[in-house]
Amino acid sequence: MSLDSSIERTIKLVTLKNALEYDGKAKLEAVISKTMASRPDLRTNIKVIIPEIKRLLDQVNSLAISEQKTLLQEISPPAVEPEKQVEKFSGLPELHGAELGKVVTRFPPEPNGYPHIGHAKAAIIDEEYAKMYNGKLILRFDDTNPLNERVEYYDAIKEGIEWLGIKPAIIKNTSDDIFILQDYGKKLVTSRGAYVCRCDQKTIQMLRSKGLECACRMDNNSYEQALVEMFAGSFEPNEATIRFRGDMTSLNSAMRDPTLFRIIDGDHPVLGTKVRVYPTYDFAAPLEDSLDGVTHAMRTKEYELRNELYNAVLERLHLRKPVVSEFSRLEFEGLPVSKRRIKPLIENGSLSGWDDPRLPTLIALKRRGFLPEAIRKFVLSLGWTLAEAKPPFESLEAFNRKNLDEHSMRLFFVRDPIELRIKNANPVSVELRNHPSSNLGSRSVRVNDTVYIARSDADRLSEGSTIRLMELYNVKITKVELAQDIGRIYADMISTNLTHSIQKIQWVAYDDKLPYKIIIPKKLFSNDKFNSNSLEIASGYAESFVSNLRLHSSVQFVRYGFCRIDNSQQAVFTHR
Ligand code: ATP
Ligand code: MG
């Protein structure tokens, strides 16, 4: 088989990079998995591709390191500009200790809010690795705090994941295993790996900061009795916890006898009120990962200090330890993802809901016109970074624009419309193409002697200037009557021949106008404060044809930007 040149280039790039990492000798397994990561479309053809990879790998490995370097420079892509980044080679690094066919990853959200762009990053990476190694992905709802979790959020997360095109092999809840987790907890106390602590929170904090043990930890007589009482419901919340017997003097404060179970009275979405003793994240996460057969557990960097505890809990219970690794949190500049910051704004009405187009939630990005394919490409273009990632929002836009371009009709919208009367115009019907190159049909518009143009265009006109009304004809301005928010312009039609040098503007025919609004989301936070001007509304006229568009489809308003149809009278601005 002869490879298409872009595939060959990808393989060479991957191979050269890998060779230069390993003293000039690229490793076959690594090159295969990286190639598949950057070109998932090749997976269906894997039998044909592998011999080609071998061939190119042999070629590369037979070169001297200096020759490899030169070759890499020749074929590697130029440094990143946002638009070009779309084409940038990207790939996730190999997973430590991964075996083809045996990798199990999991995405473990807590159903305490709507999923956002950061969750998309985690879920996409988890899924990409599962695919890369022919393994499987588990979607696990980490639902062990009934005070935070709601059925609405489980559903929102499931929908978000589905929208991203992610197909977990298994969907489960941590709460499904609540009694198994409780049993392990009891076992840990019985084997003295943990203890029931009756100290109040203040005392616990004080002893923790001083590195001192409490009396409960040292209790040799009644610890089993306390355990029975804890599960029999004898204690109120805050009267007892189960704590790991860690090391109160450890430099890693996560090891200073962290809480593994606490009592919570709440109505759990799955368990109702029958359970009161809930594991903490520090206990539930390692246990679930281990028991579910997860081989590679990835989480965000802020958990790094908890890795020691994660491993210690499993060791003490003689359970298998998954490989744990971290990646950076993703959020956009000026657009925090934290529920702590978003929830209050929804509650006080500053935002209209989780789908307010200013938010980085998946449901808002969708409403705004972002495509799941673009989000995936964007996330993968960031690769596996450990540094705090706060890319500008524009870098996601670049991916989306590329995906929207050929499928979106190009129609006219004029903001703050101004009437333009054309004196000597004959009534005409024009047939306008809905897209210059894609086959998206056409529309016919009747024009008498008056059209509307956008205020921003009108402002630049003066007597004597010439403009072209796109796809219609040229006019010469004879009179401009513009006041603060009203006005009219008069013109003569001059010639139907296109003159390249004159300004072309969009218009809406007098009898074809559809009053229309465009919601324009702006940065939600500026200087770390809620930006009260974060939602702009543009009013004007669209062509009546816009009312034929399918709800939620994308459109490109010419010289304005991409928008997504929100209802029959309004669209949401996607990006330019
Ligand atoms: P939040 O602060 O929004 O509640 P979280 O970390 O508590 O975020 P979880 O629902 O517990 O959210 O997270 C599920 C998974 O998604 C975890 O593995 C977490 O590391 C990952 N994750 C959460 N936020 C981000 C982010 N901004 N960037 C990358 N991954 C994230
Ligand atoms: Mg959380």
Whether 391 is covered by a domain: the verdict is: no
Same domain, 415 and 541: yes
CATH of the domain at 479: 2.40.240.10
196 touches 257 (CB < 8 A) = no
Ligand 1: atom nearest CA of 298 is 18
Structure tokens at 285: 């996460």
Q: Quick one: tokens of 132?
A: 């890369």
Question: Could you tell me if the CB of 110 is within 6 A of ligand 1?
Answer: yes
| Distance between CA atoms of residues 128 and 380, nearest Å | 9
CA of 295 to the centre of ligand 1 (A): 20
State the amino acid at position 481 in one-letter form. E
Determine the 3-state secondary structure of 437 from DSSP. coil
Which tokens go with 224?
A: 């089993």
Q: Give, in order, the Cα–Cα distances in Å from 205 to each of 5, 211, 247, 279, 283.
A: 62, 10, 14, 19, 19
Phi, psi of 369 (to 5 degrees): 110, 15
Residue where one domain finishes, among candidates 80, 96, 130: 80
Distance CA 470, CA 543 (A): 14
Q: Where are the alpha helices (DSSP H) in 275-393?
A: 281-291, 307-316, 339-347, 362-368, 372-382
Q: Is 119 in the pocket of ligand 1 (CB under 6 A)?
A: yes
Structural domain harbouring 245:
178-279
pLDDT digits 0-9 by tens, 25-51? 999 999 998 888 777 778 788 888 899
* Dist. CA 39–CA 137, nearest whole Å: 19
Q: Which ligand is nearest to the CA of 111?
A: 1
pLDDT tops 90 at residue 440: yes
Residue 297 lies in a domain: no
The answer to whether residue 106 is domain-embedded is no
Amino acid identity for residue 23 in this structure: D
3-class DSSP state of 82: helix
Residue 575 to residue 399: CA distance in whole angstroms: 11
pLDDT recorded at residue 81: 43
pLDDT at 57 over 50: yes
Domain count, the chain: 3
Mutate which of 106, 110, 119 for ligand 1 pocket (most atoms within 8 A of beta carbon): 119
- Ligand 1 atom index nearest CA of 337: 3
- On whether both 74 and 196 belong to a single domain, the answer is no
Location of structure tokens 């609004």: 517
Q: Give pLDDT, residue 248.
A: 98
Orientation angle between helical segments 117-132 and 28-38, nearest 10 degrees:
140
What CATH number is attached to the domain comprising 184? 3.90.800.10
CA of 5 to the centre of ligand 1 (A): 39
pLDDT for residue 80: 39
Name the residue with the closest Cα to ligand 1, atom 12: 109
**Atom 26 of ligand 1, residue of closest alpha carbon:** 118
Which of these three, 80, 98, 123, is where a domain ends? 80
Residue 187 designated active-site: no
- Over residues 159-206, the pLDDT tens digits come to 999 999 999 999 999 999 999 999 999 999 999 999 999 999 999 999
C-alpha 109 – ligand 1 centre gap (Å)? 7
CA–CA distance, 503 with 489 (Å, rounded to integer):
16
Query: What angle (nearest 5°) sits at the alpha carbon of residue 380, between those of residues 374 and 386?
Result: 135
Cβ pair 95, 103 in contact under 8 A: yes
Query: Residue 256 falls within a domain, yes or no?
Result: yes
Q: Check residues 570 and 71 and name the one with the higher pLDDT.
A: 570
Comparing 91-100, 266-275, 298-307, 401-410, which segment has the lowest mean pLDDT? Answer: 91-100
Per-residue pLDDT, averaged over 146-166, amounts to 98
Q: Is residue 434 part of a domain?
A: yes
Tell me if 137 sits within 8 A of 166, measured CB to CB: yes
Type and span of the H or E element at 417: strand 417-422
Residue 85 lies in a domain: no
301 catalytic? Reply is no
Strands 570-575 and 104-107: unpaired
Mean pLDDT over each residue of the chain, to the nearest integer: 93
The answer to whether residue 390 is catalytic is no
Distance 342 CA to ligand 2 centre (A): 13
What CA–CA distance (Å, rounded) separates 13 from 71? 9
- CA–CA separation, 564 vs 567, rounded Å? 9
**Residue 79 in this model has a pLDDT that exceeds 90:** no
Whole-model pTM?
0.84
CA of residue 184 to ligand 2 center, whole Å:
23
CB of 109 shorter than 6 A to ligand 1: yes
Is the C-beta atom of 330 inside 6 A of ligand 1? yes
Q: Is residue 313 part of a domain?
A: no
Q: Is the CB of 160 under 6 A from ligand 1?
A: no
Q: Assess whether pLDDT exceeds 70 at residue 77.
A: no
Between 361 and 17, name the one with better pLDDT: 361
Q: Which of 9, 43, 88, 110 is catalytic?
A: 110
Number of Cα atoms under 13 Å in the Cβ half of residue 559: 16
Q: Are residues 554 and 437 in the same domain?
A: yes
| Number of CB atoms found within 10 A of residue 23's CB | 7
Of 198, 245, 329, 343, the catalytic one is 329
Distance 35 CA to ligand 1 centre (A): 28
